[in-house]
Chains A and B, each alone.
Chain A
Amino acid sequence: MNQKRNRFAALLGLLAAGTFCEAETLDVEKDELKFGFIKLTDCAPIVIAKEKGFFEDEGLQVEVIAQPNWKQLLDNVINGELDGAHMLSGQPIAATIGFGTQAHIVTSFTMDLNGNGITVSNDIWEKMQENDPDLDVDQPAHPITADALKPIVEEAKDEGRLLPMGMVFPVSTHNYEIRYWLAAAGIHPGMYTSTDIKGFTGGDVELSTTPPPQMPATLESGKNVAYCVGEPWNQQAVAKGIGVPVTTNYDIWKNNPEKVFGVTKDWAEENPNTHIAVTKALIRAGKWLDETDADGNLINREEACRILSQPNYVGADYDVLKNSMTGFFFFQKTDKREMPDFNVFFNYYATYPWYSDGIWFLTQMRRWGQITEPKPAAWYEEIARDVYLPEIYLAAAEHLLEEGYIDEEDVPWDTDGYRPPTDEFIDGIVYDGRDPIGYLNSHEIGNKDFL
């Protein structure tokens, strides 16, 4: 291990230009920072790092500012109004490859795993129960696939309608997850093409963008019949009796990456020490959020929920936030389940920026046509290496280890950046980040590349 550490010291020497070696505050280039976030529970690491004083410990004064939508958030990071922000995992990648707004965004920190759900309207849920009587009990078996939804989609199509569904942003995890869930049951969610930037082409349903807070209202008004969104908007639908969450992304892909902390490449290059200091504070926040007692109960989550329920942060009711954050999830009023891994902020090396995570998003962008041209496997890796900065993460972790805030086993020190291949998807297809083309070709629906 020591050898590895030495190798690291060399790497850091380059990065932090000699400031390493000292277990004290880094020489930050900029000490007053502004970070943006969207009002969702998974902005927690940024909020906690501020409220628990982890940023202050690094000598940083941070202002945390709510943004109205993902587009504005990205624009504000690009134009320098914000130093960094809570971003959808797909956003830095899409910006770097130029889908949507073109800008080189990088990330050194994954904020969390899981945390989304797919909710259908009461009406659709009833019809799904008709199609599959096994669902017509108080606590149906999970995972619930879209198989029972397929006849409804087809019936609507026969009547000349496409069922309208919602997701939050074209390059959001939510978009890929609901598409994955539908496609796994043979429902075509529609393709993006160079002329169809809405992604409706050839779809059996109409999947459009709706901002998160509006989701429950669209379900109630019938504008959407299903949606995929982060918390608290699924629990809100249960609490108000508007819809039924049928599945969470934990079932679609166990422990999938959700949000990242993004900054522009220029900012990262101008402020290398500040970047490390920020990452340090965020890692500590992640660790604090996932701290458990001897019985494995999350001990800090209630406090976290109280903080998040303040109006300047997420602002939703404490009682609603608490549901998903403290290890429970209501699928229906009668179906409360323990989901200790609904939000993961630190365990399973959650915060490490894995290349393989970035490549998964790239495969989905290619699968649904957001990347219009076929690309070789090497390109996928190259982009992932352009966007993900594990070296910053490891530099920060090294400092934290020395200061005694984290343990040796908390960080994958000697990884090559790829998680081991996994088949923990709802359709059981194996994903190996080293073989993006093979993964792309193993799906029935979506683009396939034969290079």
Chain B
Amino acid sequence: MADKRSDRIKYKLLKSLDISGFTVFDPMVRLAFAEEPKKQVKSIFRFLIVPIIFVFACIGLWWQVAPNHKTKSGEVPTPDVVWRSAVNNDTFSNREKTKESDFLLEGPEREEALAVVESTILEREATLETLRTKLSGHESDYAELLESQLAPLQAKLDTLKERNDELEAVAKEAVSAAAAAIEAGTGTPQELLEAMRKQNEIKDNSRESEGMYKDQIDAIRSEKYKPLEQARMQVNTVADEVQFLKKRTDFLSDSNRSVRVAEAKEKLAENLKSLEEATTAKKAETEAKKVLRSEASIERLENQQYASAMTIYTQIKRSLFTVFVGFITAAIIAIPLGVLCGLSPIAMACLTPVISIFKPVSPVVYLLIFQIVVGAFFPDPDSHPFFLFINSLPFIGGLAVNPALVFSACTVAACAVWPALVNTALGVASIDGDHINVARVLRLGFWDRLVKIIIPSALPLVFAGLRISLGVGWMVLIAAEALSSSDGLGKFVWDEYQNGSSLSFANILYACFVVGSIGFLLDRMMIVLQRLVSFDGKGTSL
């Protein structure tokens, strides 16, 4: 009995692995249930260990190759630099969260936190001081090193320059002598030309020889001095932290919401007092006005939220939301149209030219079209009822939906609609003739035929189409966001490119991994859905 139960668990596990497409983990499950251990270990080694080794080898290769490839616009970051950029992004996001909670903190908790932050600042400032001394030490070291390396070259260059100047002066004299000779009637033009040629030659030679030294000097100057760079990085990290901590004290004291509310309440009390003391009508009126205004400002302050900067995590959420809005729109358009095309050759003939022309259009073109079209609907997006409604919803409200998101989503839909449409049409059109015959024999009505025969048998292909659509949509989205400045991963990448900081390249690569991983998960999700509806039992490829 026990055996049977474990078998059942085993088969359930294997089935779920099969559906999710992670069949590589099969042997591990089988091994756990002690099924042919030798065979399992062998396949674990072949299909799990070897690929892992391969991936590590790739990373190792990247580590080796990256530092050798230097362009002036940026060095290729090594995996550790990319990792650092991931950590930095995480720190940034955590800091935003801390600031937000500081802004909202109240009562004794606020005071406690303030005390902690203030003592940390003192600590960090001390560290900063020592780091700064270290940095200045490295700076003078570097200056010395540079001097010692450059001095001999510079001396050589100077002597060379002197010699060249002399040679050039001699050549110049020869030229003027030749010219003078012509004036005196003793020289020939050929001699003058010869002298001039010689002068040019000497000039070129000296430039070339000087250039060699200059290049060497330049190369030495542009070489990076590692200890100095590192010291600078350490100083900057700590100094950034100090700045952040100081900002925190701000949020814990003057800018804190409860503090500001308390201040406003105090002011209100004052205003009320002076209203009571008012004796003239005019005075009373102005004081009453002040009271009303203070009341309004208290209400406003109490509801104030922290305006957080976009972090990578919020951007991921927004991108996912946008892609699903676009994808679902595409599916809603594509599936009925696809079924129609599949059923009716006339509809297919009508739509074919439309599909053929609009399918290959670049997402950028769609983006611009939607930017113009959608923009016209929302002259004042901040007070447009549509956005007010959307942004008041729970969960979605926090994503700050704006026209940029709408036209990014429309662009995704415009690009994602075609694969789903074409595949649905294909799926419907290629239904097994037997099925149709069965429907005929049973004398099914149109709806029954559609719901019971056509759609179920077309579903695997429909889902295959949707899977491609989602992949296309995700790819398009990043470009759309970058161009339309709609917050999301695309804007993250674009902003990084515009930043041009030393970590920008690493951040872009980091985004590459993030986008890739999310795309992979989305694809897997669609595979699972497809497998759940498909009954042909065939595996769906990677």
Closest to B487 in A: A65
- Shortest distance from the beta carbon of A403 to any chain B beta carbon, whole Å: 15
**Candidates B72, B207, B304; contact of A242 at CB < 8 Å:** B72
| A79 contacts partner chain B, Cβ-Cβ < 8 Å | yes
The digit string for A232-272, where 1 denotes a CB below 8 A from any CB of B, is 11001000111000000000000000000000000000000
Cβ of A236: which chain B residues have Cβ within 8 Å of it? Answer: 500
A:306-336 near B, CB below 8 Å: 306-307, 309-312, 314-320, 333-334
| CB-CB under 8 A for A232 and B243, given A68-B494, A81-B402, A81-B404 | no
| B378 contacts partner chain A, Cβ-Cβ < 8 Å | yes
The digit string for B470-484, where 1 denotes a CB below 8 A from any CB of A, is 000000000000111
The digit string for A33-57, where 1 denotes a CB below 8 A from any CB of B, is 0100001000000000001010010
Indicate if the CB atoms of A315 and B378 lie closer than 8 Å. no
| 7 residue pairs bridging A and B, Cβ less than 8 Å apart | A53-B255, A68-B494, A80-B378, A80-B382, A242-B72, A315-B496, A320-B501
Indicate if the CB atoms of A311 and B495 lie closer than 8 Å. yes
Cβ of B404: which chain A residues have Cβ within 8 Å of it? Answer: 81
> Which candidate, B125-133, B232-240, B353-361, B444-452, is the interface stretch facing chain A?
B232-240
- Shortest distance from the beta carbon of B70 to any chain A beta carbon, whole Å: 10
Q: How far is A334 from B147 in the complex, measured between Cα atoms in Å?
A: 12
Indicate if the CB atoms of B403 and A39 lie closer than 8 Å. no
**Candidates A61, A130, A240; contact of B73 at CB < 8 Å:** A240
- Shortest distance from the beta carbon of B130 to any chain A beta carbon, whole Å: 19
Q: How far is A136 from B291 in the complex, measured between Cα atoms in Å?
A: 71
**Candidates A67, A242, A316; contact of B499 at CB < 8 Å:** A316
| CB-CB under 8 A for A311 and B72, given A39-B499, A62-B307, A316-B500 | no
| A378 contacts partner chain B, Cβ-Cβ < 8 Å | no
Q: How far is A59 from B73 in the complex, measured between Cα atoms in Å?
A: 43
Indicate if the CB atoms of B222 and A311 lie closer than 8 Å. no
| B250 contacts partner chain A, Cβ-Cβ < 8 Å | yes
- Shortest distance from the beta carbon of A175 to any chain B beta carbon, whole Å: 20
Indicate if the CB atoms of B378 and A79 lie closer than 8 Å. yes
| A372 contacts partner chain B, Cβ-Cβ < 8 Å | no
| B247 contacts partner chain A, Cβ-Cβ < 8 Å | yes
Indicate if the CB atoms of A79 and B403 lie closer than 8 Å. yes
| B283 contacts partner chain A, Cβ-Cβ < 8 Å | no
A:206-222 near B, CB below 8 Å: 212-213, 216-217, 220
| A422 contacts partner chain B, Cβ-Cβ < 8 Å | no
| B152 contacts partner chain A, Cβ-Cβ < 8 Å | no
Q: Hey, which bits of chain B sit against chain A, CB under 8 A?
A: 71-73, 92, 207, 218, 221-222, 232, 236, 239-240, 243, 247, 250, 254-255, 293, 297, 300, 304, 307, 309-310, 375, 378-382, 402-404, 482-485, 491, 494-502, 504, 507
| A27 contacts partner chain B, Cβ-Cβ < 8 Å | yes
Indicate if the CB atoms of A333 and B222 lie closer than 8 Å. yes
Indicate if the CB atoms of B381 and A81 lie closer than 8 Å. yes
Indicate if the CB atoms of B236 and A318 lie closer than 8 Å. yes
Indicate if the CB atoms of B297 and A25 lie closer than 8 Å. yes
**Candidates B254, B255, B375, B499; contact of A315 at CB < 8 Å:** B499
Indicate if the CB atoms of B381 and A80 lie closer than 8 Å. yes
Cβ of A56: which chain B residues have Cβ within 8 Å of it? Answer: 255
Indicate if the CB atoms of A241 and B222 lie closer than 8 Å. yes
Cβ of A315: which chain B residues have Cβ within 8 Å of it? Answer: 495-496, 498-501, 504
Indicate if the CB atoms of A241 and B378 lie closer than 8 Å. no
Indicate if the CB atoms of A232 and B500 lie closer than 8 Å. yes
- Shortest distance from the beta carbon of A89 to any chain B beta carbon, whole Å: 21
Q: How far is A34 from B502 in the complex, measured between Cα atoms in Å?
A: 29
Q: How far is A12 from B72 in the complex, measured between Cα atoms in Å?
A: 55
Q: How far is A72 from B403 in the complex, measured between Cα atoms in Å?
A: 13
**Candidates A53, A72, A241, A317; contact of B502 at CB < 8 Å:** A317
Q: How far is A75 from B368 in the complex, measured between Cα atoms in Å?
A: 13
- Shortest distance from the beta carbon of A410 to any chain B beta carbon, whole Å: 24
Q: Hey, which bits of chain A sit against chain B, CB under 8 A?
A: 25, 27, 31, 34, 39, 51, 53, 56, 59, 61-63, 65-68, 72, 75-76, 79-81, 130, 212-213, 216-217, 220, 232-233, 236, 240-242, 303, 306-307, 309-312, 314-320, 333-334
Cβ of A31: which chain B residues have Cβ within 8 Å of it? Answer: 300
Q: How far is A309 from B496 in the complex, measured between Cα atoms in Å?
A: 12
Closest to B492 in A: A311
Indicate if the CB atoms of B485 and A67 lie closer than 8 Å. yes
- Most chain A beta-carbon neighbours within 10 Å: one of B72, B222, B255: B72
Q: Between A and B, how many residue pairs show CB distances below 8 Å?
A: 113
- Shortest distance from the beta carbon of A29 to any chain B beta carbon, whole Å: 12
- Most chain A beta-carbon neighbours within 10 Å: one of B255, B378, B494, B501: B501
| CB-CB under 8 A for A63 and B497, given A80-B379, A307-B243, A317-B502 | no
Indicate if the CB atoms of A306 and B403 lie closer than 8 Å. no
Q: How far is A232 from B250 in the complex, measured between Cα atoms in Å?
A: 29
| CB-CB under 8 A for A306 and B247, given A66-B495, A68-B483, A72-B485 | no
Q: How far is A319 from B32 in the complex, measured between Cα atoms in Å?
A: 56
- Most chain B beta-carbon neighbours within 10 Å: one of A34, A68, A216, A318: A68
- Shortest distance from the beta carbon of B157 to any chain A beta carbon, whole Å: 11
Cβ of B382: which chain A residues have Cβ within 8 Å of it? Answer: 34, 80
Indicate if the CB atoms of A53 and B495 lie closer than 8 Å. no
**Candidates A65, A213, A318, A333; contact of B221 at CB < 8 Å:** A333
Indicate if the CB atoms of B73 and A216 lie closer than 8 Å. yes
Rank and list the top 7 A-B pairs by shortest CB-CB distance, nearest first.
Answer: A315-B499, A312-B309, A80-B380, A240-B72, A213-B498, A317-B501, A241-B222
Indicate if the CB atoms of B243 and A306 lie closer than 8 Å. yes
Indicate if the CB atoms of B239 and A241 lie closer than 8 Å. no
Q: How far is A341 from B72 in the complex, measured between Cα atoms in Å?
A: 29
Cβ of A65: which chain B residues have Cβ within 8 Å of it? Answer: 485
Q: How far is A317 from B491 in the complex, measured between Cα atoms in Å?
A: 19
Q: How far is A79 from B402 in the complex, measured between Cα atoms in Å?
A: 12
Q: How far is A242 from B494 in the complex, measured between Cα atoms in Å?
A: 22
Cβ of B232: which chain A residues have Cβ within 8 Å of it? Answer: 319
- Most chain B beta-carbon neighbours within 10 Å: one of A51, A66, A216: A66
Indicate if the CB atoms of B485 and A319 lie closer than 8 Å. no
Indicate if the CB atoms of A27 and B496 lie closer than 8 Å. no
Q: How far is A320 from B382 in the complex, measured between Cα atoms in Å?
A: 37
- Most chain A beta-carbon neighbours within 10 Å: one of B239, B402, B484, B499: B499
Indicate if the CB atoms of B496 and A311 lie closer than 8 Å. yes
Indicate if the CB atoms of A220 and B236 lie closer than 8 Å. no
Cβ of B72: which chain A residues have Cβ within 8 Å of it? Answer: 216, 220, 240-242
Q: How far is A307 from B244 in the complex, measured between Cα atoms in Å?
A: 9
Q: How far is A79 from B404 in the complex, measured between Cα atoms in Å?
A: 11
- Shortest distance from the beta carbon of A150 to any chain B beta carbon, whole Å: 20
Closest to A306 in B: B243
Cβ of B381: which chain A residues have Cβ within 8 Å of it? Answer: 79-81
Indicate if the CB atoms of B240 and A306 lie closer than 8 Å. yes
| CB-CB under 8 A for A233 and B254, given A79-B375, A242-B72, A312-B309 | no
Q: How far is A187 from B381 in the complex, measured between Cα atoms in Å?
A: 47
Indicate if the CB atoms of A81 and B403 lie closer than 8 Å. yes
- Shortest distance from the beta carbon of B220 to any chain A beta carbon, whole Å: 10
**Candidates B221, B310, B504; contact of A312 at CB < 8 Å:** B310
